[in-house]
Amino acid sequence: MGSLGTLQIRTDIVGDADPERPFSVGLMSAYKPFIHILDEFALELILSEFDTASDLLTYLNAREEFLSDRGHLIIATAEEQLVAAYLLNMRTTQEHWFTPPPKDGERKAFQQVLI
């Protein structure tokens, strides 16, 4: 099963829309606050998966932190991939995160995350 049709998320698009990558969203300028851009499918998905205010706000804050990390290129084919990665991985024993924690002796150094 493919994407529901939500927008592709690419952190290499900064500022204005990129006409070479239609149906993709990126980041605003580094000097502006983070804005969550969600289409109707992504919003419906997020509201169905995170059905309490606490869960929703925790996810949106984690999403902002993850996507705002300018040291890494993140490409998610759609919001459902971000949600799935978030729900399947844990940063600590009680905190969901988008990528698995590094194994013992492994540095957390990645340049690109494809979700």
**pLDDT per residue as tens digits for the range 12-36:** 878 777 777 777 787 877 778 888 9
Q: How far is CA 107 from CA 41, 69, 72, 102, 115, in A?
A: 36, 17, 14, 6, 20
Burial letters for 25-58: b for 16+ Cβ neighbours within 10 Å, e otherwise? bbbeeeeeeeeeebbebbeebbeeebeeeeeeee
pTM value? 0.80
Tell me how far apart the alpha carbons of residues 37 and 16 are, in angstroms, rounded to a whole number.
Answer: 13
- Give the chain's end-to-end CA distance (angstroms, integer): 15
Across residues 47-52, what is the average pLDDT? 96
